[in-house]
Amino acid sequence: MKEKHYDAGDITILEGLDAVRLRPGMYIGSTGPKGLHHILWEIVDNAIDEAANGYADKIDVRIYKDGSVSVEDNGRGIPTDIHPKTKVSGVQVVFTQLHAGGKFDEHNYSFSGGLHGVGASVTNALSKWLKVRVYKKGKTWEMEFHSYFDEKKNKYESGVPVAPLAETKEKTDKHGTFVHFMPDATVFSTTEYSLNTISHHLNELAFLNRGLTITLTDERITANEFVDEENDDEVQQLNLMGATEPYSVTYHYEGGISDFARYLNEGKNTLYSSPLYYRTEKDGILVEFAIQHTGEYSENLFSFVNNIPTPEGGFHEMGFRGGLTRMLNDYARENKLIKDKDANFLGDDFREGLTAVLSIKMKNVQFEGQTKTKLGNPEARTPVEGSVVEGLRSLAQDPKNKKTFEEIIKKAQGAARVRIAARQAKETARAKNSIDSLTLVGKLAACSGKHPEQNELFIVEGDSAGGTAKQARVRQFQSILPLRGKPLNVEKKRLDQVLANEEIRTMISALGAGIGNEFNLDKINYHKVIILSDADQDGFHIRCILLTFFFRYMRPLVNAGHVYIGMPPLYKVYKQNGSVEEYAYDDAELQQKIEKVGRGYLIQRYKGLGEMSAEQLWTTTMDPARRNLTQVTIEDAVAAENMITTLMGDRVEGRKEFLSRNANFNKTDDFMNRVKLKKEDKEDKEDGDEEE
């Protein structure tokens, strides 16, 4: 490139860039690392725009050893011809005039007027030097700008053209734009680009622009010096042994934000395998969304406006949530999944476990909020809401999505149940006076220790076994809560009824962490909640009921692994003279123990916990060193709930079928074995529960 300084002639243009240098914060937010990356995003955004308009499908970003960076696209190339008004080339206008981005073509998708979108000239103004190369119609054009201290004027000159745009001798069949710049160290507190930040953002951009291929190369390091945690397998680990190739990574997603949703849900249990995805344009706003529900409870909505994350939300999110709630409620009603007399679901119900990506593109965006990442354009709301309703409708019409929508409604039903229960719990709690709650914990033999992580709560079936357990326990860390009779089957009850049940209220107050939506795991008094019920039909039933209760109303307790099932032995194998005493927890173990004890053995079969002495109960079931605890997993709780629903709920059909298939209760299923213990010992082979 020529060394002679080029006089652009237009003083006001240069003054514009001077203003940028004078107050960089006004244009790029800060002169810290964020601002440094901002000037790169300005350039990247231009290339993304070209791709969004369908003229480019490849963008290469490169970080050089000297700390400079470049962006190249394979688009049409910035216009090289002389602009009639300013009498300079299009390239010069783009890099020297503030807010000149996307001004050439009013009909295209040039949406970058947002947080970025201050234009490529800002990058130029804050760079030590900036070089542009345009490949177009077989020709290669070049132009260079620089910033320097002018001794004569005694001031800093910013983004000054070194020479006008010029055609080089290089002939090419390439087309596109290449921009290479060096951030100015006199502007930024640091000029070191972060590979992590850049790769994260480019990955996101690749998700948001489906089909686009973005390659990032960092010449500062070699292939094996950086492992991108988010994209391990994408890393082109070239020449790993010799490690002479620079680190390089490619991002490309055919599914766009649908792949984004999948990626966000990786490793999670999803309710349907493919995200629901829709894209449309309404009232000049491009709306795209992808949703996929998981078995979890929180909502994860990732929203973007013009490829810029909007973690603070705004009108587009309102529209999205509104559309989702409206369409799904309508759908549920049309399909009789809400009874005529019942109220609609709340939006929260539909968003439990929801992972969603919402991406919109619009002009004249207004960002608000603490971090300027909240969309402040009210006009975005209605088109987004309409697009979501329309999109979900059309997706619901596809027969292959039938199951997906059923799953979504089913999930909402569960959420609504807990929500209603929690509200009623609150009301009940309010109605209860303090004397009541004192009598509540009266049944509880509380431990003296004050360390929840050491404390254990035994929920024991029956007053008699409860009494034994109280004698047997180590008072310091073991609490005993005896359950009189069967606890309420929560499946059949609303929570106000559930809470009217003294046993359950005692349990809630003993655990001390609330219930339902208000449940706060941080407040629990016990890190081990141990269900101790008899090894018989009733005991199994009680176990299921309790698990269902925890699953429905204290799910985080189960998730955190605080719920256990105590395993009392089924048999004692011993000698008359008392010289040997062995316990067996199942029939296979019984055979082993018989062999172990040898000649003259006697067997005692325990019908219930109540038959044990305090000493025996301690040795076999309560002593941490010797007992046999089973930690309850969320799958166990789900199984318990399903079993309860099948066995004890409204679905009589299912119950009959279940009973005929499992009349002998000898299913080998792991959970059944754990929860039901050894059903083959049961004389009573019927479903023990036919209440109501």
Q: 53 vs 437, which CB is nearer to ligand TTJ? A: 53
- The least distance separating ligand TTJ from the CB of residue 107, rounded to whole angstroms, comes to 10
Among residues 7, 15, 81, 105, which is the contact residue for ligand TTJ, using CB under 6 A?
Answer: 105
Q: Which residues of 87-108 are buried (b: 16+ CB within 10 A; e: fewer)?
A: ebbbbbbbbbbbebbbeeeeee
- The least distance separating ligand TTJ from the CB of residue 129, rounded to whole angstroms, comes to 15
Q: 250 vs 630, which CB is nearer to ligand TTJ? A: 250
Cβ(677)–Cβ(540) below 8 Å: yes
3-state secondary structure of 459: strand
- The least distance separating ligand TTJ from the CB of residue 56, rounded to whole angstroms, comes to 6
Q: Give the separation between CA 120 and CA 41, rounded to whole angstroms.
A: 9
Q: 94 vs 249, which CB is nearer to ligand TTJ? A: 94
Among residues 14, 28, 40, 43, which is the contact residue for ligand TTJ, using CB under 6 A?
Answer: 43
Among residues 20, 31, 46, 270, which is the contact residue for ligand TTJ, using CB under 6 A?
Answer: 46
Q: Give the separation between CA 215 and CA 155, rounded to whole angstroms.
A: 39
- The least distance separating ligand TTJ from the CB of residue 108, rounded to whole angstroms, comes to 7
Can residue 198 be called a binding residue for ligand TTJ (CB under 6 A)? Answer: no
Q: 58 vs 527, which CB is nearer to ligand TTJ? A: 58
Can residue 122 be called a binding residue for ligand TTJ (CB under 6 A)? Answer: no
> Which of 367, 386, 385 lies closest to 376 in space, CA to CA?
367
Please provide the DSSP assignment of 664-675 as one string: T-----HHHHHH
- The least distance separating ligand TTJ from the CB of residue 126, rounded to whole angstroms, comes to 14
Q: Give the separation between CA 130 and CA 127, rounded to whole angstroms.
A: 6
Element (H, E) at 548: helix 537-553
Can residue 159 be called a binding residue for ligand TTJ (CB under 6 A)? Answer: no
- The least distance separating ligand TTJ from the CB of residue 264, rounded to whole angstroms, comes to 29
Can residue 658 be called a binding residue for ligand TTJ (CB under 6 A)? Answer: no
Can residue 64 be called a binding residue for ligand TTJ (CB under 6 A)? Answer: no
CA dihedral 572, 574, 580, 582 (to 10 degrees): -20
Cβ(278)–Cβ(394) below 8 Å: yes
Residue/partner pairs of 472-475 with CB below 8 Å, 24 or more apart: 472/614, 472/615, 472/617, 472/618, 472/622, 473/445, 473/447, 473/618, 473/622, 475/447, 475/448
- The least distance separating ligand TTJ from the CB of residue 65, rounded to whole angstroms, comes to 21
Can residue 144 be called a binding residue for ligand TTJ (CB under 6 A)? Answer: no
Please provide the DSSP assignment of 252-280 as one string: E-TTTHHHHHHHHTTTS-BSSSS-EEEEE
Q: Which of the ranges 11-19, 44-52, 140-148, 522-530 carries the binding residues for ligand TTJ, by CB under 6 A?
A: 44-52
Cβ(190)–Cβ(121) below 8 Å: no
Q: Which of the ranges 39-47, 467-475, 611-619, 641-649 carries the binding residues for ligand TTJ, by CB under 6 A?
A: 39-47
333: its two tokens: 């009603």
Q: 45 vs 689, which CB is nearer to ligand TTJ? A: 45
Q: Which of the ranges 42-50, 371-379, 424-432, 502-510 carries the binding residues for ligand TTJ, by CB under 6 A?
A: 42-50
Q: Which of the ranges 45-53, 183-191, 418-426, 430-438 carries the binding residues for ligand TTJ, by CB under 6 A?
A: 45-53
Please provide the DSSP assignment of 210-232 as one string: TT-EEEEEEEEEEGGG---GGGG
Site string for ligand TTJ, 420-459 (x = CB under 6 A): ----------------------------------------
- The least distance separating ligand TTJ from the CB of residue 411, rounded to whole angstroms, comes to 44
Q: Give the separation between CA 499 and CA 648, rounded to whole angstroms.
A: 19
Q: Which residues contact 347 (CB under 8 A, 6 or more apart)?
A: 321, 322, 324, 325
Q: 165 vs 547, which CB is nearer to ligand TTJ? A: 165
Q: Give the separation between CA 535 and CA 676, rounded to whole angstroms.
A: 7
Q: 179 vs 202, which CB is nearer to ligand TTJ? A: 179
Can residue 404 be called a binding residue for ligand TTJ (CB under 6 A)? Answer: no
Among residues 41, 50, 210, 315, which is the contact residue for ligand TTJ, using CB under 6 A?
Answer: 50
Can residue 465 be called a binding residue for ligand TTJ (CB under 6 A)? Answer: no
Q: Give the separation between CA 162 and CA 418, rounded to whole angstroms.
A: 68
Q: 52 vs 612, which CB is nearer to ligand TTJ? A: 52
Q: 55 vs 226, which CB is nearer to ligand TTJ? A: 55
Site string for ligand TTJ, 65-94 (x = CB under 6 A): ------x-x-xx-xx--------------x
Among residues 100, 120, 271, 447, which is the contact residue for ligand TTJ, using CB under 6 A?
Answer: 120
Q: 181 vs 606, which CB is nearer to ligand TTJ? A: 181
Count of beta carbons in the 10 Å neighbourhood of residue 302: 20
Q: Which of the ranges 43-51, 80-88, 273-281, 466-474 carries the binding residues for ligand TTJ, by CB under 6 A?
A: 43-51
Count of beta carbons in the 10 Å neighbourhood of residue 434: 6
- The least distance separating ligand TTJ from the CB of residue 76, rounded to whole angstroms, comes to 4
Q: Which of the ranges 46-54, 552-560, 597-605, 632-640 carries the binding residues for ligand TTJ, by CB under 6 A?
A: 46-54
Q: Which of the ranges 41-49, 138-146, 281-289, 575-583 carries the binding residues for ligand TTJ, by CB under 6 A?
A: 41-49
Q: Give the separation between CA 482 and CA 463, rounded to whole angstroms.
A: 6
Count of beta carbons in the 10 Å neighbourhood of residue 690: 8
Can residue 47 be called a binding residue for ligand TTJ (CB under 6 A)? Answer: yes
Q: Give the separation between CA 95 and CA 43, rounded to whole angstroms.
A: 10
Among residues 104, 263, 272, 297, which is the contact residue for ligand TTJ, using CB under 6 A?
Answer: 104
Q: Which residues contact 665 (CB under 8 A, 6 or more apart)?
A: 672, 676, 679, 680, 682, 685
Question: Which letter does DSSP use for residue 201 in this model?
Answer: H
- The least distance separating ligand TTJ from the CB of residue 12, rounded to whole angstroms, comes to 21
Q: 50 vs 142, which CB is nearer to ligand TTJ? A: 50
- The least distance separating ligand TTJ from the CB of residue 75, rounded to whole angstroms, comes to 4
**Residue numbers annotated as active site:** 461, 534, 536, 538
Q: Which residues contact 96 (CB under 8 A, 6 or more apart)?
A: 8, 10, 13, 14, 16, 17, 88, 121, 124, 145, 159, 161
Question: Which letter does DSSP use for residue 84 in this model?
Answer: T
- The least distance separating ligand TTJ from the CB of residue 44, rounded to whole angstroms, comes to 7
Q: 71 vs 546, which CB is nearer to ligand TTJ? A: 71
Phi, psi of 320 (to 5 degrees): -60, -50
Can residue 61 be called a binding residue for ligand TTJ (CB under 6 A)? Answer: no
Q: What residues from 164 to 193 belong to the interface with ligand TTJ (CB under 6 A)?
A: 177, 179
Q: What is the 3-state secondary structure (H, E, C) of 366-417?
A: CEECCCCCEECCHHHHHHHHHHHHHHHHHHHHCHHHHHHHHHHHHHHHHHHH
Query: Residue numbers of the site for ligand TTJ (CB under 6 A)?
Result: 43, 46-47, 50, 71, 73, 75-76, 78-79, 94, 104-105, 120, 177, 179
